[in-house]
Amino acid sequence: MTVAVHDDAANRVCVVGAGSSGLAAARNFLAQGFAVDVLEREDDLGGNWNYNKGTARVYRSTHTISSKPGTEYPDFPMPAHYPDYPHHSLVLQYFRDYAAHFGLLPHIEFNTGVQQIVPAEGGPAAGWLVTTTTGETRHYGAVVIANGHNWNPKYPTYPGSFAGEVLHSAFYRTPDVLEGKRVLVVGAGNSGCDIVVEASQHAVRTFHSTRRGYHYFPKYVFGKPSDQVGDLLHALRVPLPIRRLIGTISMRLLVGDPKASGLPQPDHKLFETHPVANTLLPYYVKHGAIRVKPDIARFEDRDVVFTDGTRETIDLVVYATGYLIAFPFIDRAHLNWRDGHPVLYQNVFHPECDTLFVSGLIQPDSGQFGHVHWQMRAAAAFLRAARAGAPEAEAFRRERRERIDVPLSGGVTYLESTRHYLEVEHWSYRKGLERIAARLERTVGRRAAREAGAALAGVAP
């Protein structure tokens, strides 16, 4: 095997993917003085948000679930003329502007995927060998995996066989596939709720199957985006039980009681599942345009039999059942894999390895981009501190080992589900990352100041 080695290999970072997480990684590692190569298998950036690419997981009508302040990168606000909840086309343009503003485009290699990542000779401390789809193997001092976790569709299994059409929400784009059909949407996440609402406007008959009841958040509370109201309560340090009470009352006033709307009663407290922002679902259920069903018991040809004994003849089943976490180009052992997912400190840092990071491996109860910024700011600051031999780097190594299993839930107890493997309570999670980054950056800053002073004095630092 021939390995391409740059003169600055020890200081060079490989970022896998040029979506929202990869762009944030490139921006922050460049800011800390590292050389960066971003490897992107598509011919354009944007990842999930680039509607015209095969990697996209947005449909034509997709808008953000969180409003602008809770979605954007903190060092690059979304334009003032953007609406509260931008369309995916605006999000893609935002990424283009971000990449241009921070000079990221020269560092992105398009049409270059990753086939394999293995430790270099001498182990991860010596870096990583990255083999690309172009057949080249390169040596890097560190690697950031940033290709996302919402790409590998999860399909449930049921007894029997279904003779109709099956589509996963990952591949849903436009409602024309629903026209003239009896459609069953399975799953009550944000994508499932959006698609079933679209089906109610295009299909002959629409059914929605869920295993449990959920709380449906309005996008606006008293004229303000609901996530901004929620963040105000966090900023005021309102305790969880009071925030839960305020949220419950607001939802009852603005959305109504789920059971009264014909929806299943939630079997859990508010915030114990990933939030569903959708007020149109209860609206169309009340109008009879969506018929609510429990979980599927079995398939019989084109009939779907549900756990309550009812059955319906269905033409198309849309599975909005989420994704399985997978990074096929690297051995799971290198990601501290446990119980179906990587177990990393802050969902970013390996407990033992200094040179491997994962960007965007979270499902926050808010927007994502700002949290990924702080993930990568902390990661870049740590790698620089580690390279400099700063004492704080060793202290952080102890922290990531000892606190790796500390929940990131901000005191909330999430329901046991694969859906919540990566769930984080956004406010406390972000504050924690900000503290880590600040601590590590202060250490590096002090060392840089000492070195500069020593250079001026003409002595060794």
Report phi then psi at 79, rounded to 5: -55, 150
Instruction: Determine the angle formed by the axes of helices 391-402 and 426-457, rounding to 10 degrees.
Output: 160
Say if residue 12's pLDDT is above 50.
yes
* pLDDT, tens digit (0-9, with 9 covering 90-100), for 155-204: 999 999 999 999 999 999 999 999 999 999 999 999 999 999 999 999 99
DSSP 330-398: B-GGGGTEETTEE--BTTTB-SS-SSEEESS--EESS-SHHHHHHHHHHHHHHHHHHHHT-HHHHHHHH
The pLDDT value recorded for residue 3 is 77
Residue 444 has pLDDT above 80, yes or no: no
Q: Could you tell me if 348 and 435 are in contact, meaning their C-beta atoms sit under 8 angstroms apart?
A: no
First vs last C-alpha separation in the chain = 41
Query: Regarding beta strands 114-119 and 128-132, do their DSSP bridges make them parallel or antiparallel, or are they unpaired?
Result: antiparallel
Q: Are 68 and 78 in contact (CB under 8 A)?
A: yes
Which phi and psi angles does 323 have, rounded to 5°? Answer: -135, 155
* Three-class DSSP labels, 141-154: CEEEECCCCCCCEC
Give the full edge-to-edge strand order of the sheet including 296-300: 296-300, 303-306, 311-313
User: pLDDT tens digit string along 346-368?
Assistant: 999 999 999 999 999 999 999 99
Handedness of CA 305, 310, 313, 317 (dihedral sign): negative
- Would you place residue 460 in the very low, low, confident or very high pLDDT band (cuts 50, 70, 90)? very low
With a cut of 50, say whether residue 461 has pLDDT above it. Answer: no
pLDDT tens digits, residue range 404-431?
999 999 999 998 888 788 999 999 999 9
Q: Count CA atoms within 13 Å of residue 253 on its CB side.
A: 9
pLDDT of residue 252: 86
Q: What does the pLDDT average to over 110-133?
A: 97
> Is the confidence at residue 441, as pLDDT, over 70?
yes
Q: What is the structure's pLDDT at 451?
A: 54
**Spatial strand order in the sheet of 128-132:** 3-5, 137-140, 128-132, 114-119
pLDDT over threshold 60, residue 457: no
- The answer to whether residue 251 scores a pLDDT higher than 90 is no
pLDDT band at 275 (very low <50, low <70, confident <90, very high): confident
Q: What is the arithmetic mean of pLDDT over 285-292?
A: 96
- DSSP letter at 125 equals G
3-state DSSP of 222-271: CCEEHHHHHHHHHHCCCCHHHHHHHHHHHHHHHCCCCHHHCCCCECCCCC
pLDDT band at 9 (very low <50, low <70, confident <90, very high): confident
Q: Compute the distance between CA of residue 445 and CA of residue 456 in angstroms, rounded to an integer.
A: 17
pLDDT given at position 256: 83
Provide, rounded to the nearest whole percent, the portion of the chain with pLDDT above 70.
95
What is the Cα 183 distance to its own chain's centre?
28
Largest Cα span, the chain: 85
**453: pLDDT strictly greater than 60:** no
Structure tokens belonging to residue 25: 């990684």
137 residue type, one letter:
T
pLDDT band at 340 (very low <50, low <70, confident <90, very high): confident
pLDDT > 60? residue 329: yes
The pLDDT mean for the chain works out to 93
The residue to which tokens 């250079």 are assigned = 455
Q: Round to whole Å and give the CA distance between 243 and 318.
A: 35
Model's pTM, two decimal places?
0.94
| Structure-model confidence comparison of residues 375 and 260, the more confident one | 375
Position 452 confidence tier, pLDDT thresholds 50, 70, 90: very low
Residues 20-39: tens digit of each pLDDT: 999 999 999 999 999 999 99
pLDDT of residue 258: 81
- The Cα 65–Cα 19 span in angstroms is 18
- The pLDDT of residue 253 is 86
Name the packing angle between helices 369-388 and 20-31 (round to 10°).
Answer: 30
Confidence check: pLDDT of 458 > 70: no
Structure tokens at 22: 């990869």
**Three-state SS at 434:** helix
Tokens (6 digits) for 322: 């989420």
What is the predicted pLDDT for the residue at 10? 86
As a whole number of angstroms, the distance between CA 143 and CA 32 comes to: 15
Region 366-390 average pLDDT: 96
Q: Two tokens at 216?
A: 């449906």
Give me the pLDDT at residue 163, please.
98
* pLDDT band for position 313 (cuts 50, 70, 90): very high
**In the Cβ-directed half-sphere of 271, how many Cα atoms lie within 13 Å?**
21
